[in-house]
Structure 1
């Protein structure tokens, strides 16, 4: 992603949106499974959990969770929350790549030709800024995605429009931003680490004759695995806080405890579920992260190159 050949802003937005759309479609079922596991405060190994299930299912492992959802909710259950998720992924990817490009060019303009920042540091700063901006901009869609994915056969919200109206009525505007603090605390190191690793290994891997394909895709997978694992507890905390409010006991897990604040939520989970409670759904998250990041980065690079080849590289410094 050299600034001199990054394409125009419209080309970047189009490539980012396309990458987000395709990526979301591919990993939607794994995303639902991850959310269900993250919201589950009980397990088979907890002898006390069965007394407090309140009709909640017990999920154990990715494959069994997939089978359970299909059996009890049908195949369409694997795509619950897909509409707000698609909107979120398209918007998020577009904002993320645009902000990343703009921040990179801003750093180049600020430091000039004598740029003292190493490539990894520059990528970290640009990635963190892009992630924070994209997260804050699209957060209401992320919350809606989580709430729809957490619904069982008893629908909490009958439609996206109805969900927006009810959240606004019952929880106010701030209801759309529940969990934003851990979201930002998560995304800054997540995207910083991701882009730093991705930009560092992308070119070396691209020079290798890899039997499984593109160096861009491989770099995306490696960067995503490391970054996701590092910040996963904050992602779980964000999901638990997102389903708080007047509808908390109506989701598929009817025994979700009350949580308030990032630190207190983490302390409560550690006390009740131990350290492993902070990593529920990590396996499926990594399974999801690999194809999602590979598809996103591969698609973005190809679509952007295609747009540039047909429309020309109209990137200009004033586009920042």
Structure 2
């Protein structure tokens, strides 16, 4: 795999990278919000293998399930149902994008400096993996409370669980304490380290050979982002399902869509994964993968494309000076 190109590490000032990352996150979130809500609903669908009376809806296993869940949301909740949790989600994507790209840029520059001082040589792919993993961990931890709120609002059906964003923060603090905002964080970190490491390594490996590909919206940035996201997302998807199941635990668990049937998970990430495998089979860990991959392609393409365009635009405007 080719070394990571220098432009993603060295171009732009720190402020330009932060703003470009935030803009890319905002744009990406708005575009894929409906698919995100559908994915979360699918991941919270519970089917016990030991219950002969339980009915496995097509939505839990087939691509057609995307249509079924979307139809149910449309009929019972209206078009606004597809954007449930969008306010914390926009805050999540905005801050996540900013922290992610800033941490990625800072880490790669630090690695370059260390290598120069100690006369070390780190392959470009390894450098991209390390920087991506650090960036993903930093962004996930810093923004996790918003991720949890996004999941809980998206999991609300016709029954209202919280009276708005402020009400949700107040209720979680009162009934679950500060730790309530970090339910499932271990699963998130366990997922994001390999995911972001693989994503950035694959992205920067795919981008050089695709640089000459001419598309209506630019170059091969989008294609590289799509390919990298699909491969890395599939590899870590079971941990994403575990994270979603853990995020809706607590005193309000039974009020969410599918929550009444979801078991109580109290023994950590590994035990939760084993329990899902034992009670629901492997399909329980991969429920929602199809829509997740459908979402991953446009999300990553829009994110990387918007980031590259925004950063280059700021650099042209500022000429490398005033936003430092």
TM-score by shorter chain over 0.5: yes
Give 1:142's aligned residue.
147
Q: How many residues align?
A: 312
Partners in 2 of 1:228 and 1:289 — Cα distance? Answer: 8
Tell me the CA shift for residue 68 of structure 1: 1.1
Give 2:204's aligned residue.
199
Give 1:185's aligned residue.
190
Tell me the CA shift for residue 144 of structure 1: 0.3
Partners in 2 of 1:211 and 1:314 — Cα distance? Answer: 31
Give 1:100's aligned residue.
104
1:26-41 equivalent positions in 2, closer than 5 A: 26-41=31-46
1:157-196 equivalent positions in 2, closer than 5 A: 157-196=162-201
1:128-139 equivalent positions in 2, closer than 5 A: 128-139=133-144
Q: Does structure 2 retain, via aligned residues, the 8 Å contact 1:269–1:278?
A: yes
Give 1:73's aligned residue.
77
59, 63, 87: which one aligns with 2:67: 63
1:159-308 equivalent positions in 2, closer than 5 A: 159-209=164-214, 214-253=219-258, 254-260=260-266, 261-308=268-315
Tell me the CA shift for residue 48 of structure 1: 2.6
Give 2:114's aligned residue.
110
Distance 1:300 1:115, change over 3 A: farther
Give 1:311's aligned residue.
318
Distance 1:270 1:43, change over 3 A: closer
Tell me the CA shift for residue 100 of structure 1: 0.2
Aligned with 1:112: secondary structure?
helix
Q: Does structure 2 retain, via aligned residues, the 8 Å contact 1:84–1:142?
A: yes
Give the root-mean-square deviation of aligned CA atoms.
2.2
Distance 1:6 1:212, change over 3 A: closer
Tell me the CA shift for residue 255 of structure 1: 1.4
Pair 1:16 & 2:21 matched:
yes
Partners in 1 of 2:313 and 2:243 — Cα distance? Answer: 37
Q: Which deviates more, 217-226 or 57-66? A: 57-66
Partners in 1 of 2:215 and 2:17 — Cα distance? Answer: 27
Partners in 1 of 2:216 and 2:154 — Cα distance? Answer: 36
Q: Which deviates more, 100-109 or 208-217? A: 208-217
Give 1:2's aligned residue.
6
Q: Does structure 2 retain, via aligned residues, the 8 Å contact 1:13–1:98?
A: yes
Q: Does structure 2 retain, via aligned residues, the 8 Å contact 1:44–1:58?
A: no
Partners in 2 of 1:214 and 1:42 — Cα distance? Answer: 44
Q: Does structure 2 retain, via aligned residues, the 8 Å contact 1:43–1:58?
A: no
Aligned with 2:156: secondary structure?
coil
Give 2:91's aligned residue.
87
Partners in 2 of 1:252 and 1:69 — Cα distance? Answer: 11
Q: Does structure 2 retain, via aligned residues, the 8 Å contact 1:21–1:90?
A: yes
Tell me the CA shift for residue 313 of structure 1: 2.1
Q: Does structure 1 retain, via aligned residues, the 8 Å contact 2:49–2:279?
A: no
TM-score, normalised by the number of residues in structure 1: 0.92
Tell me the CA shift for residue 207 of structure 1: 1.9
